[in-house]
Amino acid sequence: MEDVKEIVRKKYARLAQINEESCCGSPQDSKAEEVTFFSEDYTKKGGYVADADLKLGCGMPTDFARIKPGQSVLDLGSGAGNDVFVARSLTGEKGEVFGIDFTEEMVSKARTNKAKLGYENVHFIQGDIEDMPIPSNSIDIAVSNCVMNLVPNKPKAYSEVYRVLKPGGHFSISDIVIVGELTEAVRNAAALYAGCVSGALQKDLYLDTIKAAGFKNLQLDKERLIELPDSLLIQHIDQSELEAFRASKASIYSINVYAEKPVAGNCC
């Protein structure tokens, strides 16, 4: 798992520096066709900061996060701060917004963006989602945008989200999941263009992992089919593999999941 974390760290350090790729990007192939259909258009969102939008997400978790003025919000895998600044526009000056990211270069970039804005209630922390330097029962709402699929130990990560949320708190997380079985060739081809695909779980397993962490009232607020064009796939797989993939009906989805931490611990 440490090898996976190091790969992710190096990859996102590079993305923080070049800002040229989209949706979990692809340092493996600098000449790869840019794929932007994973990310969504933030430009009309309150709090939008262009320098913080690296187009690495696959949804808009703040749209479904039910953020109210004065609340505390934590963005898991905050990158250059895109969702943090949008959340801050919702929680207001009396709220508190934290972003945690594994990559030093991303945290540095986010802090630079924050300094330009002069926000005193925004904080960027370098840390591991599997072992967050965040006090237990301290956060009202957690959000995340196409990051949890990159974490090697997803059960541990979701147990940490559960720990830091206040009883009665909730999360809104956008992520990538798989429905059906992707062949190894197709998964590898997709991962070249969108690294988030390589760590994606089967949809049912992903949702079961959240439930196993103790969360209740789980719901899917949004589900979006990600279409991988033939022109992209055929660069990395042969025609027979492409035809087999299309016949299998296996699919990649962007989903937005909402769930709550019960008020009375793990009690139903």
pLDDT tens per residue across span 222-241 = 999 988 788 878 888 889 98
Residue 267 CA neighbour count, 13 Å, CB half: 5
Q: Count of residues for the chain? A: 268
Tell me the pLDDT tens digit for each residue of 149-158. Answer: 888 899 999 9
Q: Which of 29, 1, 78 is nearest to 235 (CA)?
A: 29
Enumerate the β-bridge partners of residue 73. Answer: 97, 141
pTM, whole model, 2 decimals? 0.86
Output the DSSP codes for 187-253: HHHHHHH-GGGTTPEEHHHHHHHHHHTT-EEEEEEEEEEE---HHHHTTTS-HHHHHHHHHHT-EEE
User: In this structure, which topology does domain 2-260 adopt according to CATH?
Assistant: Rossmann fold (3.40.50)
The one-letter amino acid code at 84 reads V
Please say if the pLDDT value at position 21 is more than 80.
no
Tell me the pLDDT tens digit for each residue of 106-115. Answer: 999 999 999 9
**Percentage of the chain modeled with pLDDT above 90:** 61
Beta strands in the chain (DSSP E): 72-76, 96-101, 122-126, 139-145, 165-179, 201-202, 216-226, 251-260
